[in-house]
Structure 1
């Protein structure tokens, strides 16, 4: 049954992408098939093999140690604020982002990350049917995040046509930044975080190849990565420490606003209609949860979590999932966990448009113009990843 659902899910997802395609005759099937096979292979590796389990355990152990080291700094500054045996979200989930941001800065400073991003991007460009710049940007997005990644390609921004800009933005919204992987792993199982990261990388290429297919001429496909101004090692440390803290504060502020807003809307709906707003949205998203492989008994709850992520962000949805996970099947928890690991939500439209506009106002306005289509494509990427997870667990 689950394989029949998977085929149905693929047909529906691809049809939804095809409907809004800006060049239906230009869709290339070969790279789509290759990347779909790669997605299935990686999902099987990470979710159903001893090798994948070993890799996941290794990555999970690494982040566990990193979070332990981060806790040393957090306890030094904030020790005594939290009551004994309590686990404040801001201290335990968000503030470790500061330390992981520092490690990313060190890897960037010593040219480790640029090397990996450059050559992994070149390798991906051989199979995804897109340009080298698009491939580089997709890998960089998974490291730097949806706003910071555009700094690395700001020299190209003024010269990029709208269709290539859409691809870059889709990659940025479909992936997540390395600095918050540790935060996710404190909320959902690490194996689903890593699986989603890989699936979304390829899934972004698949959906873009349907919604936004095009050819890149060799003379247009040049990677000139923006070099950062040369800093001393300790200047770099200071910058990345502050950047990490800003991310933690921004995520915390958004959580306060979104959780409070959703609570108010739920209360109003409950008072007027006798049902919460999130439950209403749960019914809307229930069919998508079902085709992704969620058991029929869980589709309303799963749809509610999916809609919460779209309207607010993945952190709010992960917190809601944690509260009801005991009432859901393990299969449902796995499918929805993978769906949640991306930046595909309404607030990301403003974040990405603002980041691009800060570098080039004209291009930022273009991003704002296709913002809804961008969210539409990135959501299909998450749904595709969830559907593939559904046949593996």
Structure 2
């Protein structure tokens, strides 16, 4: 039965993408079918095979070492503020972002990341039927983050037509930055985080290929990556450390605001209607949770977590799931966890348009105009990832 529901869910997600397509007649179906097949193969390998367990274990162990190193720096500065064996979200989850960001800066400076991103992008462009710029941007977004990635392509930003700009922004919203992956692994099972990272990469291309189909000529597809060659090692290191600090502080501030606002709204709704706002969202989004493969009796609870992510951000929803206040089965937890691993929320519209505005104000106005369409597409990517996991698990 789960396979029938899952297949219906896939059809629903792709149909929703088709309904929102800018050019239904020119959708290229062959690359979409190939990428869907790759999603199933890679997802199954990660979640259901010994090789997948070995690879995920290696990645998890690597991040555990990095988080332990980050913990030394955090404890040196903030250790006296926390009692032994006590958990503090800001110190345990957010501050390690600073160290991961610094590590990304080092790998950028010694030219390892640019090479990895560029050549993975070249390989992906052969699969997805899109340009090298779009493929590069998708991989770079998954490593650098949804705002920083535009700096690396700023030389081409002002030259891009609307349809290509949409794809670049959609990729940025559909993925997550490597600087926060370690923090996600503290809140969610790491194997679901790894699976979502890979599935979202292909899912972003699939949904973009349906919503925003186009062809790129060789003359148009010139990849010029901006590199800060004049900076010294310590300038780069200092910049990335401060970037990581800004991310940690920004996420922390947003969490304080969003959690407080959601609590206030829930209180008001319970006083007036006898039901919380999140429960109402759960009823609204429950059909999507069900078609993703969440058991019917858990669909409302699961959907409330999913909706919380959309109206606030993924950290609020992950913390809600990790806290145990929403009890879900292992299957529902897997589906919801993979849905949460992306930047698809309303706040990201402002973050992306703001990042583009800092580089090209005219293009920022274009991004602002299709902001809701960006969120629509990125949310479909998350739904697609969760649906595929529901079929695999």
TM range (shorter): over 0.9
CA apart distance, 1:327 = 2.4
Q: Secondary structure at the match of 1:220?
A: coil
Partners of 2:320 and 2:326 within 8 A in 1:
no
Matches within 5 A, 1:163-174: 163-174=163-174
Matches within 5 A, 1:291-310: 291-310=291-310
TM-score (norm 1): 0.99
Partner Cα separation in structure 2 for residue 116 and residue 90 of structure 1: 31
Aligned to 1:75: 75
Q: Secondary structure at the match of 2:357?
A: helix
Partners of 1:286 and 1:299 within 8 A in 2:
yes
Partner Cα separation in structure 1 for residue 100 and residue 81 of structure 2: 23
Partner Cα separation in structure 2 for residue 167 and residue 122 of structure 1: 16
CA apart distance, 1:326 = 7.2
CA apart distance, 1:234 = 1.5
Matches within 5 A, 1:1-393: 1-324=1-324, 327-393=327-393
CA apart distance, 1:85 = 2.4
For residues 278-325 of structure 1, the C-alpha deviation after alignment (integer angstroms, 9 at most, x for no partner) is 100000110000000001111010000000000000000001111237
Q: Secondary structure at the match of 2:355?
A: helix
CA apart distance, 1:238 = 1.0
Partners of 1:74 and 1:91 within 8 A in 2:
yes
Partner Cα separation in structure 2 for residue 237 and residue 357 of structure 1: 25
Partner Cα separation in structure 1 for residue 80 and residue 256 of structure 2: 23
Q: Secondary structure at the match of 1:83?
A: coil
CA apart distance, 1:113 = 0.3
CA apart distance, 1:228 = 1.3
Partner Cα separation in structure 2 for residue 179 and residue 85 of structure 1: 25
Partner Cα separation in structure 2 for residue 83 and residue 257 of structure 1: 25
Q: Which runs of 5+ in 2 are unaligned?
A: none
Q: Secondary structure at the match of 1:224?
A: coil
CA apart distance, 1:229 = 4.1
Partner Cα separation in structure 1 for residue 38 and residue 138 of structure 2: 16
Partner Cα separation in structure 2 for residue 341 and residue 73 of structure 1: 26
Q: Secondary structure at the match of 1:127?
A: helix
Partner Cα separation in structure 1 for residue 326 and residue 292 of structure 2: 20
Partner Cα separation in structure 1 for residue 229 and residue 283 of structure 2: 51
Q: Which runs of 5+ in 1 are unaligned?
A: none
CA apart distance, 1:80 = 1.2
Partner Cα separation in structure 1 for residue 41 and residue 325 of structure 2: 27
Q: Which piece of structure 1 moves more, 67-76 or 321-330?
A: 321-330
CA apart distance, 1:3 = 1.1
Partner Cα separation in structure 2 for residue 16 and residue 97 of structure 1: 35
Partners of 2:155 and 2:224 within 8 A in 1:
yes
Partner Cα separation in structure 2 for residue 171 and residue 232 of structure 1: 30
The alpha-carbon distance between structure 1 residues 276 and 325, as it changes in their structure 2 partners (threshold 3 A), is closer
Partners of 1:138 and 1:201 within 8 A in 2:
yes
Poorly superposed stretches of 4+, deviation over 6 Å: none
Partners of 2:301 and 2:326 within 8 A in 1:
no
Partner Cα separation in structure 2 for residue 325 and residue 334 of structure 1: 16
Partner Cα separation in structure 2 for residue 117 and residue 286 of structure 1: 37
